């Protein structure tokens, strides 16, 4: 039954839900008005299918009306078929679109490039992740199914038990002391870097580290960071987005060509010396000494140590930051150790850059979320992370061996690079067909991969970059068989 609104208006405070205010209802027509407002929200898509309406008691209290009014409104909507009561699940919207946001029309001038365009746009990795495929052999992640859920949950429970209320407030933008200490210890033991916890800055993955470094260099007047070629497209995109030029420096079987670096005139270079992406070569001793001399003469090295822990057939290679810490900005993360979804990484910068990086982090996000930091610190301090790494190494080695065997069987003419370490293999192929066409046809047949062209600025042999860490052996064999058939078909 409809009620007069006069007394209700006096005590109504309104509802956040659809910004309903009974003062807007016509005199004597509150029930009709509320029913119409909610029905319109459903048909317009503001309340998509599957939305749960507020409990009748809650909405009545928010609006300052009797619960009977809201019950009557929901009854009418149910009779129309717009909603259905589902017990403890509440009153659920049953009609309308499953999403409230229509897909905007994208005009032709700003239309995205084809997925496998030779010079892909910044959205390319998002589009590739969303692309449907039966087998994903794209590089970039460890075996995510092996994530140590039990160990993480145990560490998380301990953190929640031990963390005081005051620790749930705003923290140090550099990161929690516990994680900075754990990272400093980890870098000393595994990478030969003797860093004090105060030198460590916790970041949201290597991507944020690069953004902070780029901003800091820009403030110092640096507008160019040389990069390896071939080298990571994603890294280059981050630097370009920050306004930095990225001239290519050739990579050969000894790693970065330091003479070519000098010729660019760049004051900074980004390199992956322990396991170059994507070729997998290790920076040779002569090149390490040459790069060290260049740095001591005033250059800055940004060391992306993205997967140095994953090695199989060679001894560990110490980080460059262990040799010239005052001229190296070191970055690492748990994306290749645990999962990219954690968005946890670190950077250790030279003293003259440290304060500026901390300031950039402060004004970027006030620091990473505290609870995941404390959980990771507990995982590292307990030895669980090292145990997990040993499990991953054994599993990844088996999958690498499987991929190499499959490549010998299905692509015997391909040259395999970077097999001694890492999470991927790079192939170079003698084919007149562009590798972007190979990757596009492979995707049509259900297999994702990266064309080597994506990671080049200069011309070079066609190739593919194949990740093996995240897929079981049967999937690897099947995916490589598809790639072999694609190459055979295109060669006809």
Q: What's the confidence (pLDDT) of residue 44? A: 87
Q: What's the confidence (pLDDT) of residue 107? A: 42
Partners of residue 450 on adjacent β-strands: 465
| Ranges assigned E (strand) in 358-458 | 415-417, 424-429, 447-448, 450-451
pLDDT in tens, 196-205: 999 999 999 9
Q: What's the confidence (pLDDT) of residue 109? A: 43
pLDDT in tens, 35-79: 999 999 998 888 998 899 999 999 999 999 999 999 999 999 999
CATH code 1.10.10.1100 for 124-145+387-491: no
Q: What's the confidence (pLDDT) of residue 65? A: 92
CATH code 3.30.70.2970 for 148-382: no
pLDDT of 492 strictly over 80: no
Distance (Å, rounded) from C-alpha 424 to C-alpha 467?
Answer: 4
Residue with tokens 């850059």: 353
pLDDT of 171 strictly over 90: yes
Q: What's the confidence (pLDDT) of residue 88? A: 81
Each domain of the chain, given as residue ranges in start order, spans 6-93, 124-145+387-491, 148-382
Q: What's the confidence (pLDDT) of residue 8? A: 42
Q: Which CATH number fits domain 6-93: 1.10.10.10, 2.30.30.40, 1.10.3720.10, 3.40.50.2300?
A: 1.10.10.10
Backbone angles phi and psi of 202, in degrees to 5 = -80, 135
Q: For residue 346, which of 200, 238, 199, 181 has the smallest C-alpha distance?
A: 200
pTM of the model: 0.85
Contact by Cβ (8 Å): 276, 251? yes
If pLDDT is split at 50, 70 and 90, which confidence band does 99 have? low
Residue with tokens 């309340």: 47
Q: For residue 134, which of 491, 481, 490, 487 has the smallest C-alpha distance?
A: 481
Average of pLDDT values for 330-348?
Answer: 97
pLDDT of 336 strictly over 60: yes
Residue with tokens 């690897």: 476
- Could you give the count of Cα atoms lying within 13 Å of 198 in the half-sphere of its Cβ? 2
Q: What's the confidence (pLDDT) of residue 313? A: 87
If pLDDT is split at 50, 70 and 90, which confidence band does 128 have? very high
pLDDT of 9 strictly over 50: no
Q: For residue 209, which of 317, 343, 322, 326 has the smallest C-alpha distance?
A: 343
pLDDT of 105 strictly over 60: no
Average of pLDDT values for 237-256?
Answer: 97
Q: What's the confidence (pLDDT) of residue 355? A: 97
Average of pLDDT values for 410-421?
Answer: 95
Range in 122-126, 185-189, 368-372, 442-446 with the lowest mean pLDDT:
122-126
pLDDT of 7 strictly over 50: no
Q: What's the confidence (pLDDT) of residue 214? A: 97
pLDDT of 2 strictly over 60: no
Q: Which long-range contacts (CB under 8 A, 24 or more apart) does 160-168 make?
A: 160/371, 163/371, 163/374, 167/370, 167/374, 168/370
Query: How would you label 82-112 residue by residue, b for 16+ Cβ within 10 Å and e otherwise?
Result: bbeeeeeeebebbbbeeeeeeeeeeeeeeee
Q: What's the confidence (pLDDT) of residue 3? A: 44
Distance (Å, rounded) from C-alpha 193 to C-alpha 66?
Answer: 67
Q: What's the confidence (pLDDT) of residue 100? A: 45
Q: What's the confidence (pLDDT) of residue 13? A: 61
Q: What's the confidence (pLDDT) of residue 97? A: 61
Q: How much of the chain exceeds pLDDT 70, in percent?
A: 94
Instruction: Write down the mean pLDDT value for the chain.
Output: 92
Average of pLDDT values for 424-443?
Answer: 94
């Amino acid at each position: 039954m409809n009620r007069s609104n006069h007394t209700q208006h006096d005590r109504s405070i309104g509802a956040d839900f659809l910004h309903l205010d009974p003062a807007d209802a016509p005199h004597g027509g509150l029930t009709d008005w509320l029913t119409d407002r909610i029905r319109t929200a459903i048909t317009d898509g503001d309340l998509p299918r599957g939305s749960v309406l507020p409990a009748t008691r809650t909405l009545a209290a928010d609006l300052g009306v009797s619960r009977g009014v809201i019950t009557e409104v929901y009854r009418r909507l149910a009779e129309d078929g717009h909603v259905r009561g589902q017990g403890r699940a509440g009153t659920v919207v049953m009609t309308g679109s499953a999403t409230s946001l229509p897909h905007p029309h994208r005009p032709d001038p700003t239309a995205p490039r084809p997925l496998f365009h030779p010079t892909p746009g910044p959205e390319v990795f998002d589009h590739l992740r969303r692309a449907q495929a039966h087998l994903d052999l794209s590089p970039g992640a460890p075996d995510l199914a092996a994530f140590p859920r039990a160990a993480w949950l145990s560490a998380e429970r301990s953190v929640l038990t031990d963390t005081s209320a005051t620790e749930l407030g705003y923290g140090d933008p550099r990161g929690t002391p516990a994680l900075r200490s754990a990272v400093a210890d980890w870098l000393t033991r595994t990478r030969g870097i003797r860093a004090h916890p105060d030198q460590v800055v916790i970041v949201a993955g290597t991507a944020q580290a690069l953004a902070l470094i780029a901003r800091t260099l820009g403030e110092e007047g640096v507008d160019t960071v040389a990069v390896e070629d071939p080298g990571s497209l994603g890294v280059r995109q981050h630097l370009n987005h920050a306004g930095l030029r990225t001239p290519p420096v050739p990579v050969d079987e000894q790693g970065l060509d330091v003479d070519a670096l000098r010729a660019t005139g760049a004051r900074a270079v980004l390199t992956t010396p322990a396991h170059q992406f994507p070729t997998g070569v290790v920076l040779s001793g002569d090149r390490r000494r040459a790069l060290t001399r260049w740095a001591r003469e005033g250059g800055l090295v940004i060391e992306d140590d993205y997967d140095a822990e994953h090695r199989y057939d060679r001894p560990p290679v110490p980080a460059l930051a262990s040799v010239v810490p005052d001229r190296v900005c070191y970055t690492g993360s748990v994306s290749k150790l645990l999962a990219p979804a954690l968005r946890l990484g670190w950077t250790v910068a030279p003293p003259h850059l440290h304060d500026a990086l901390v300031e950039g982090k402060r004004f970027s996000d006030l620091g990473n979320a505290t609870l995941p930091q404390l959980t990771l610190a507990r995982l590292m301090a307990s030895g669980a992370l090292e145990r997990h790494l040993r499990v991953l190494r054994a599993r990844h080695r088996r999958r690498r061996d499987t991929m190499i065997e499959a490549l010998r069987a299905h692509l015997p003419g391909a040259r395999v690079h970077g097999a001694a370490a890492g999470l991927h293999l790079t192939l170079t192929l003698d084919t007149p067909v562009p590798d972007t066409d190979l990757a596009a046809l492979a995707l049509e047949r259900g297999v994702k991969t990266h064309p080597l062209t994506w990671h080049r600025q200069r011309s070079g042999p066609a190739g593919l970059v194949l990740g093996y860490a995240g897929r079981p052996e049967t999937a690897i064999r099947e995916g490589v068989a598809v790639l072999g058939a694609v190459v055979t078909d295109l060669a006809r």
